Amino acid sequence: MMSKAVVKYINSLQIKKYRNQHQTFVVEGGKSVSELLHSDFELQHLFVTEEFYKAHARTLDSGFRYEVVPEQDLVKAGTYASNNAALAVARMRPEAPLKLGPTDFVIALDDVRDPGNLGTIIRIADWYGIKTIVCSETCADFYNPKVIAATMGSFTRVQAHYLDLAAWLREQSVTQKVYGASLAGDNLHALQLQPQGIVVLGNEANGIRPEVAAHINTLIKIPAFGKAESLNVATATAIIIDNFMRNSQGAS
């Protein structure tokens, strides 16, 4: 059974201030915790139900410190309305230096504040083998529980870097091709795109900020065939990245 102190500590990690203070974050649910166990993240706490233990006994007994607890303890400590699997507290990775090579392909997000959208974009990046996402400082926090949940474990394979996006793009645009999603852009279906460079997507309501757009080489758009006013930014990311990857050999 979890102690009151541990429950209080885990609850506090729902707030960015305390995540940064402790340099830890919460991972909930069977899929995400299972991915975490096979990653290079360091675990601070690991709580599992009897059901999860039976399904993952070989992995858990290979060197992890864990405690078997009832489902209600996981619900009390976490954010899920129900959780019959597992909950972990992991240490944040130290942010590695961001250096792009001439053939690298990254996603850059400008003021994408919705945690669900950010988490879905991380999952999309993982699907297409993109390892790096660059975020403006106003984007949702990578370690927000809602972001982690939406990634479905992809947070273990994708790195996010938070920085002054306009200043960074000003430097990158000298050597990198920088694309930006805009309704004023060229039809991406008519372009011969290669998965290299930087693709910038902005806030769904306001688009890419002018100070960021100033450093974009090429504006691109998804052509509309109906009357919808806009696309969700995560949906737009998937469509755009898929068009870039069309000429790349992918896994079956």
Residue 137's closest CA among 108, 166, 163, 115?
163
For residues 74-82, give the mean pLDDT.
Answer: 96
Q: Which whole-number Å values give the CA distances from 115 to 19, 122, 151, in the listed order?
A: 15, 11, 10
Query: Residue 96 has what pLDDT?
Result: 83
Asked whether residue 1 carries a pLDDT value surpassing 90, the answer given is: no
Pair 232, 203: CB distance under 8 Å:
no
Q: Choose between 250 and 145: higher pLDDT.
A: 145
Contact between 156 and 35 under an 8 Å Cβ cutoff? The reply is yes
Helix, strand, coil shares of the chain, percent, nearest 5, are 35, 25, 40
Average pLDDT over residues 140-149: 98
The predicted structure's pLDDT at residue 249: 59
Q: What is the pLDDT of residues 184-229, one digit of tens each?
A: 999 999 999 999 999 999 998 889 999 999 999 999 999 999 999 8
Question: Helix, strand or coil for residue 74?
Answer: helix
- The pTM for the full model equals 0.94
pLDDT at 67 over 90: yes
- Report all structural domains of the chain as residue ranges with CATH numbers, in order of start: 4-91 (3.30.1330.30), 105-245 (3.40.1280.10)
| % the chain with pLDDT above 70 | 98
- The pLDDT assigned to 251 comes to 46
In the predicted model, what is the mean pLDDT of residues 81-109?
A: 94
pLDDT, position 174: 87
The pLDDT, as a whole number, for residue 189 is 94
CA-only gyration radius of the chain, Å: 20
Residue 89 CB partners (closer than 8 Å, separation 6+): 9, 10, 13, 24, 25, 26, 27, 43, 44, 45, 46
Confidence of residue 252 (pLDDT cuts 50, 70, 90): very low
Q: How far apart are CA 89 and CA 98, in angstroms?
A: 26
Nearest to 209 by CA among 115, 136, 119: 136
Name the average pLDDT for the chain.
95
Task: Pull the structure tokens for residue 230.
Answer: 């806009």
